[in-house]
Amino acid sequence: MTATRIVRPATLAVAALAVWTLAATLLWRTKVPADLSLPSLGAREVFGAHAVRAGVRFDRFFEVEWALGTIASLAALVVLARRGPKLARSLGLGPVNAGIVTAVLVAVVLWAVSLPFDLAASWWSRRHGILQESWATIVFSPLGGLYRATVVTTLVFAVLLLLARRLARTWWIAAAGIVLVLAIGLQFAFPYVQRIGTHPVRSQKLVAQIRTLEQREQVGRPTIRVAPMHETTTAANAYAAGLGPSRSVFIWDTMLDGRFSPREVRFVLAHELGHLARWHIWKGIAWGALIAVPILALVALVTGRRGGLRRPENVPLALLTIAVAGIAVTPFANAVSRRYEAEADWMALNATRDPAAARGLFKGFVTTDLQNPDPPGWVHVFLEDHPSALVRVEQAEAWRRLNR
């Protein structure tokens, strides 16, 4: 009996690892040639010394702010994890209600800890002309974040604590399934909400170019909308979202204010259509599941040593475990994201056959968004979910050399 109890979990663990590895291997594949050799270009030569200095100076503030904010949040979670038992017992509530209230209190503390850093980031962006919002909006907008954090925390921990009470050791498996279903639902519904306040592309010439790109990338006819962002920021951006009938591409109107050429705008749209053509939204959900399952299993293991998540005093410990695990997997998650962004660039290069437009676009992002085109290694690993602007220019040059 003892041997069976040991062999069976070990067999299941090996099988789960094999499935995880196979799924990760399949999801890792992209259309970018595996043997693609990028040329070695200099950031100052490509973007200019002034743009590089401005990007380095602007981004350095956020790099330091991220490090300090992360340390402060982890320190707060450590203190709360140590005082969790006393806090939960002092509430005088049932296990589930006490756990929910404890989770909300932790969320409020984390919000308060992050507030000074968020305000500092807004100040820095506003000082450099990127953020256009008034100080009244900047000061009061975090209250909306507090409300959302409270609602989400209440709902999530109500589900987790109920599962933990009913399923004991296997609650994390059911929780992973619920997270997957919610992720799919949110990705499906999100674009419909985002379309509020947007408008269709009004340039008939651009519409015709979009139709051509859709045919070349075999992506069907997703919804293309322009989002009015000029009163909020001077930064330029575009993004793809949605599943099935909700698939959409949103382009900020700051991309269409004349700072970017029509060819560069076309490349941006080809890039976003490339995300949809290569099923990156679905793949992102799959990666989320592959990452969430081990994290939830780790939470079950860590809290299980103190009686499990059924005990409300373990809620802060669970949140600390999630935070530490999240930081630990961030380099891997960013690597996946950068890989898909590179593939979307490759799709756009194939669709537009215009590496000069790609180069101009990435140079424009560095100038308008004050990006550091070649960030230091640790920043690249922990903070960058896109390839650096320099690497994106190098890939465009590699494509040009292959197709000249």
Active site residues: 272
Residues 137, 235, 146, 76: is their CA dihedral positive or negative?
Answer: negative
**How many Å apart are CA 388 and CA 374, to the nearest integer?**
6
- Count of other CB atoms within 10 angstroms of residue 177: 12
